[in-house]
Amino acid sequence: MSPRRFLLLAGLVACGARPFTPQTVVDNVRVLSSRTDLPYAQPGESVNVDLLVADGRPDQSRAVTVGWLPFLCVNPAADLYYACFAPQAQVVPSTGTLAEPAPAPGSGAAPTGPIDLARLVGTDITDFLVKGDRFSFVMPEAIVPHENNATDYGVVFLFNIACAGRVRIAAPDPEGGQEQMPLECVDESGTKLPASEYTVGFTRVYSYRERRNANPVISRILYQGQPVDLATGITMPACTESKRLDCDTVELDVDSPAESQEPKLGETLLTGEVPREQVYAQYYSTTGLFTQDARLLYDSATGLVTDRAAEMIPPATPGLGRIYVVVKDDRGGTSWVDFPLRTE
């Protein structure tokens, strides 16, 4: 058994008899990643943020709405996303994108200061969301420097939800901890939908006066060593073994040029050298099973990794699915591709 499949088996055993779905399996509504055209945006620049939304539900009769809260959270306390919902949070309208008023009853305008969530619990905000998988905004001029940090940077947070229903402000769960976000997805009667029907997420975008960062490049995807036509996808035989871990695996790999591993200008190692990024690939599929959810492409110290292919256990039954490959660097740069998977 390969080390990668051993890790998968160990994870399954560790969970005992409880139901366990690996992170790589998309069998629900998921936002797999977000991507900005300017991972490090300077004050005053226009920024576009895209979401990679996947729907692996067996029953997709209920349509999914993708939307964004129509404001920016600027420099929250300790750079924590959940601090954006604290009374002292700094919230500003998302300049250039707000088509409808934000959910502030009676105000008719986007929020510009603290949001009184207690007053809004139970409010349906579906019609106030900025709809779609793209969100555009202008980085606030006054974001740098971060007033609570000596480093010359600032950060904004944007919040999104993909929901197969209506979006509502939720009351905090007394046992949920401080990290929960106050959004929930409900059906037409107001009944909260199960977790498989929605996902809530956020994107952070940093701002430096000097530093820049580009998204990594995906040159091509390889299946069993051969380039993949992303339009037609790949075809593989179904796994017919009685135990999934007895199946022969297939390999997928990512070609990314050396330029994707940028130097981290503005940072220095103890040796005085400028460190380089780590670049890695994440794998997801609506069918089949990857034995690991991520593979390192470029190591910060040694560069290109030669043993970087991802192993996949083919699906057990014939049919159609989809594979998603997301390539990230460790400074927020992101790119992705997706393509069909046919099992015969």
CATH assignment of the domain containing 231: 2.60.40
Q: What is the pLDDT of residues 235-282, one digit of tens each?
A: 999 998 887 778 999 999 999 999 999 999 888 888 889 999 999 999
Instruction: Quickly count: other Cβ atoms within 10 Å of residue 245's Cβ.
Output: 16
Give the Cα separation of 271 and 261 in Å (integer).
20
Instruction: Quickly count: other Cβ atoms within 10 Å of residue 221's Cβ.
Output: 22
Q: Is 91 contained in some domain? A: yes
Q: Is 59 contained in some domain? A: yes
Which among 160, 186, 208 is the end of a domain?
208
Say if residue 180's pLDDT is above 60. yes
Q: Is 30 contained in some domain? A: no
- 339 and 220 belong to one structural domain: yes
- 18 and 45 belong to one structural domain: no
- 227 and 308 belong to one structural domain: yes
User: Domain of 235?
Assistant: 3-22+214-343
Give the Cα separation of 326 and 158 in Å (integer).
20
Q: Is 29 contained in some domain? A: no
Q: What is the pLDDT of residues 81-107, one digit of tens each?
A: 999 888 777 888 775 333 333 334 333
Give the Cα separation of 206 and 240 in Å (integer).
48
Say if residue 210's pLDDT is above 80. yes
Which among 167, 192, 208 is the end of a domain?
208
pLDDT confidence bin for 58, thresholds 50/70/90: very high
Number of independent structural domains in the chain: 2
Which among 193, 208, 223 is the end of a domain?
208
Say if residue 127's pLDDT is above 70. yes
Residue 147 near residue 202, CB atoms below 8 Å: no
pLDDT higher at 140 or 282:
282
Q: Is 305 contained in some domain? A: yes
